Structure 1
Amino acid sequence: MPTETAFKYLNEVRFMTMSNWSVGAILSDKVLYKDGFKLEPIGNLIIRNREKEILEDDKAYKQVTIKLYGKGVIQRSDELILGKDIGTKNQFRISEGQFIMSKIDARNGAFGIVPAELEGAITTQDFLSYNINTEKILPEFFNLITGTKHFAELCQKASSGTTGRQRVDEKAFLGFRIPVPHLDIQKKIFERYDSAIKRAEALEEDSINQHHQLITWVKSKLGINQTNINRKKGFNIINFKNLKRWDTDFLFGTESQLHSKYDLIEYGQIFKALRNGISARNYSNEGVRFIRVSDVKFNSLDDKDLRYINKYDESDLLKKSTLLITRKGTVGQAFFLKEENQLTASSEIFIISIDESLIMGDYLAELNSFDFIQKQYEEKYTGTIMPSLSQQRLKEVRIPLPPMSVQREIVAEIHKLKSKINSLKEQKSALLIDASKQFESAIFNID
């Protein structure tokens, strides 16, 4: 029966099958899954893990976090944490292959299977972990079902009701019934899904290899070589006027020196004009587009979240052949605007007019994404939480300056390979979407 007709008729529900008192939960549970599969309460498929761990001060532990929307179970931080630095001493030990969920974020799809690298990790009581009855359901199949948006909707219903609770009610969760085909059918459904995922992963690996080839080719074409000079360690006296940053990486780390078979030229020598954008104004539904730092990617603009302003001066509008470089937050993202358009830019972005008789705007913007340019930004900006770059320090960044013919060749090759990489990424995304749709179509009443 289609979902949209479920609420038009009188329904009878056996009391023993009710997972909670929500009308939405009762009715949606009747129509969500396709006919033909045996429905089993989750409580029949998993058993609560109650292996307790009393933390010791001098012992190191792995902690756990669960990404939202079925994105996986991972270690909370790269470093192990000593027991003395963990406030809650009574915790639970988890094992590889267990199903784990967050009480707080279960309504947002915070489920997953514990990976091998988290064997023996610890969790608080805000995480519920379970051993899976593999005689009834495959862990991979169970993980797929519980990772879908449809299942997350059930969990939202389990944590809804008159009290508006945010935490999932474990009893209600265990009372949900899910389709449990024969193990052979589960295996076939999962293998079809897994095959698509592996093809997507192969595309991702191909795109990464293409990107590495691009970097290697450009560096070879320019004859790029970087050497690192270790700054003097131990007790040092530094003149205050020479301090650019306060962090130890700057004071005692390494300083890179860039070499190329072509002349290295400072940005200040190729900039004709340099200014900051305008301060953020009240956004509007119309007017001219306001470009923020988050909009500027490597020689592209992100159009996912457009903002507009209608109070500006004509001088605030960007002209064609303008280079944009982010100066605050994500420092060093660049975009070259070829055509004049109705655009303005944030005060956290540099607006630059370049000498196009010396350098191509696309060449300069494209090379900004390479490590030998990004490394210079890292050495020149100030601040660690919110990095910031001054106009003067930006002018000191150096870039190889080959003849125009070589610049055009490099830009053409970059665009060709970037197009191929983007195509691979689009194919990967399409495969992932199709894999999820196929799985959900086999299980859920969504056709």
Structure 2
Amino acid sequence: MITPRHDSVRVEGELGDWQAITIKFSGKVIPRARTEVFKGSMFAAYPGDIAFSKIDARNGAVGLIPDSISKAVVTAEYPVFTPKSDKLRPAYLNHLLRADHFKVALQRKATGTSGRKRVTPEGFLSLEVPVPSLDEQDVLVGTYDDALIRAAQLEQEADAIEHAAWQAFETTLGVAAPIALPDWPVFVARFKDVERWSYESILKTSTSGPEHTSPWPLARLGNLIADLENGWSPKCNDHPARGGKWGVLKLGAVSFGTFDELENKELPTRLQPRTEYEVQPGDVLISRANVTRYVGACVYVESTRTKLMLCDKIFRVRFLHDGMLLPRFLAETMKLQLVREQIESRLTGTSPTMKNISKPSLLDLQFPLPDAHVQEQLVTDLYSARTSAVSRRIEATTLRQSSWTTFESTLFTVSVPAE
């Protein structure tokens, strides 16, 4: 089904039109980033050829040369083979190399001492693989690729649903999206009106309008809540809390838009927990320190395991009884560009990897505040859209997994033909 290729290439110094390659454990073949001078005999490989690393083939380093690398060159450590065009489709072969059955069979071909096991060209050629007819290969690959296309469409739909829902949220609040900067603008700005002399500053001055055109009044966070409290950061164990033990949240618990209870460190048994800092469902948490884009990250805690405490770099919002601000609405509002700009303009700290925002700065944040029933409807619409998007992403993941399982199970019920 395949034949060895031994096209020798003599290299002295620069490679010229040739590209040295490396093969990832995923099977992806990419150009090698090397600056040293090549010398001696090397070997050619072309799009559609198979190459593998003798030392790493058992880990998955076997793949097809892509069309994007027209002239690959390898050392003797990377045997090259050419598939027979009347027996194998490149797309079918590419999938075959990723199949678990193939990987297991390839691992069994590795010989040598522990830690230095290699797959020889002879061992690779001795592998038995299912090879249906070309028409059957086309059907198998086509069915699987159709499933991948549908999965990608589902994920695009999920992204579009979330994007549209967020745009509706912003539009209802009257917060305009930022103006995109044109590549080659024509604009006029008076020098005295520009804060600093730069392309971005002049363009911002020339194109900016009112910060928002909301039908709702701007409200200050400090006037809507009772307080912001932060927790406690003792020296903890390096692993998450286990076996019902107490843990202290890490910044990662709030950094990415949803609460992640697994982002915690176990409290040593010698220390007594401070139960007043235990996180509860319904809490709104805000990070006060992190890299710039994550300072002020805010989450609503839908649910959580017990015995998790706030760290001192995370604030918990204390809401007023019968207050005008709904917790879920605040968690969403903190993501608005209008609010993010306020946060990032008030950061302190000289380290690029750890910026801070003070409690007074957070309390001084301003944002549009609709009536409570409008807040509730806005959040309901957002949550509904996200649920729909999650459903599509789950469907996409299931489709990929099931179609691959079907492909592989069908593949290895095919008998191996005699040469």
Give the TM-score normalised by structure 1: 0.68
Q: Tell me how far 1:435 sits from its aligned partner.
A: 0.8
The 1:400–1:306 alpha-carbon spacing in structure 2 relative to 1, beyond 3 Å, is: same
Q: CA-to-partner distance for each residue in 1:207-261, whole Å, 9 max, x for gaps?
A: 1221221222122112222358986247xxxxxxxxxxxxxx9999989995351
The 1:280–1:360 alpha-carbon spacing in structure 2 relative to 1, beyond 3 Å, is: farther
Match of 1:147 among 98, 107, 110: 98
The 1:286–1:319 alpha-carbon spacing in structure 2 relative to 1, beyond 3 Å, is: closer
Q: Tell me how far 1:121 sits from its aligned partner.
A: 7.2
Contact 1:47 1:133 in 2 (8 A): no
Residue in structure 1 matched with residue 236 of structure 2 by the alignment: 281
Contact 1:297 1:333 in 2 (8 A): yes
Residue in structure 1 matched with residue 187 of structure 2 by the alignment: none
Q: Tell me how far 1:320 sits from its aligned partner.
A: 4.8
Partners of 1:346 and 1:125 in 2: how far apart?
A: 57
Partners of 2:73 and 2:343 in 1: how far apart?
A: 40
Partners of 1:277 and 1:251 in 2: how far apart?
A: 41
Contact 1:207 1:424 in 2 (8 A): yes
Q: Tell me how far 1:314 sits from its aligned partner.
A: 1.7
Runs of 5+ unmatched residues, structure 2: 182-193, 415-419
Partners of 2:11 and 2:44 in 1: how far apart?
A: 6
1:323 counterpart = 2:281: no
The 1:409–1:63 alpha-carbon spacing in structure 2 relative to 1, beyond 3 Å, is: farther
Partners of 1:320 and 1:132 in 2: how far apart?
A: 59
Amino acid at match of 1:143: N
| Partner SS for 1:325 | strand
Which has the higher mean CA deviation after the structures are superposed, 223-232 or 269-278? 223-232
Partners of 1:231 and 1:341 in 2: how far apart?
A: 49
1:389 counterpart = 2:361: no
| Partner SS for 2:129 | strand
Q: Tell me how far 1:111 sits from its aligned partner.
A: 4.3
The 1:264–1:343 alpha-carbon spacing in structure 2 relative to 1, beyond 3 Å, is: farther
Partners of 2:244 and 2:24 in 1: how far apart?
A: 36
Runs of 5+ unmatched residues, structure 1: 1-39, 235-248
Q: Tell me how far 1:65 sits from its aligned partner.
A: 6.4
Partners of 2:204 and 2:395 in 1: how far apart?
A: 40
| Partner SS for 1:353 | strand
| Partner SS for 1:177 | coil
The 1:51–1:302 alpha-carbon spacing in structure 2 relative to 1, beyond 3 Å, is: farther
Amino acid at match of 2:113: T
Partners of 2:290 and 2:212 in 1: how far apart?
A: 27
Partners of 2:283 and 2:48 in 1: how far apart?
A: 54
Match of 1:212 among 148, 152, 163: 163
Residue in structure 2 matched with residue 293 of structure 1 by the alignment: 251
Contact 1:95 1:114 in 2 (8 A): yes
Q: CA-to-partner distance for each residue in 1:110-155, whole Å, 9 max, x for gaps?
A: 4444444455677787766654432221111111111123333334
Partners of 2:222 and 2:29 in 1: how far apart?
A: 48
Partners of 1:364 and 1:218 in 2: how far apart?
A: 13
Q: CA-to-partner distance for each residue in 1:3-38, whole Å, 9 max, x for gaps?
A: xxxxxxxxxxxxxxxxxxxxxxxxxxxxxxxxxxxx
Contact 1:96 1:114 in 2 (8 A): yes
The 1:67–1:396 alpha-carbon spacing in structure 2 relative to 1, beyond 3 Å, is: farther
Residue in structure 2 matched with residue 342 of structure 1 by the alignment: 306
Match of 1:259 among 212, 216, 236: 212
Alignment map for 1:32-431 (pairs within 5 Å): 44=2, 47=5, 56=14, 68-69=25-26, 72-73=28-29, 86-89=35-38, 95-101=46-52, 105-119=56-70, 131-159=82-110, 161-165=112-116, 168-225=119-176, 226=178, 232-233=196-197, 258-261=211-214, 262-265=216-219, 267=221, 270=224, 272-279=227-234, 281-282=236-237, 283-288=241-246, 290-296=248-254, 298-302=256-260, 308-309=266-267, 311=271, 312-326=273-287, 327-328=289-290, 331=294, 332-337=296-301, 342-345=306-309, 347=311, 349-356=313-320, 357-369=323-335, 373=339, 386-392=353-359, 394-395=362-363, 398-431=366-399
Partners of 2:17 and 2:327 in 1: how far apart?
A: 52
Which has the higher mean CA deviation after the structures are superposed, 287-296 or 199-208? 287-296
Q: Tell me how far 1:417 sits from its aligned partner.
A: 0.2
The 1:216–1:384 alpha-carbon spacing in structure 2 relative to 1, beyond 3 Å, is: farther
The 1:324–1:185 alpha-carbon spacing in structure 2 relative to 1, beyond 3 Å, is: same
The 1:115–1:263 alpha-carbon spacing in structure 2 relative to 1, beyond 3 Å, is: farther
Contact 1:100 1:128 in 2 (8 A): yes
Amino acid at match of 1:140: A
Identical pairs, percent: 22
Partners of 1:193 and 1:46 in 2: how far apart?
A: 29
Residue in structure 2 matched with residue 25 of structure 1 by the alignment: none
Q: Tell me how far 1:182 sits from its aligned partner.
A: 1.6
| Partner SS for 1:440 | helix
Give the TM-score normalised by structure 2: 0.72
Amino acid at match of 2:357: S
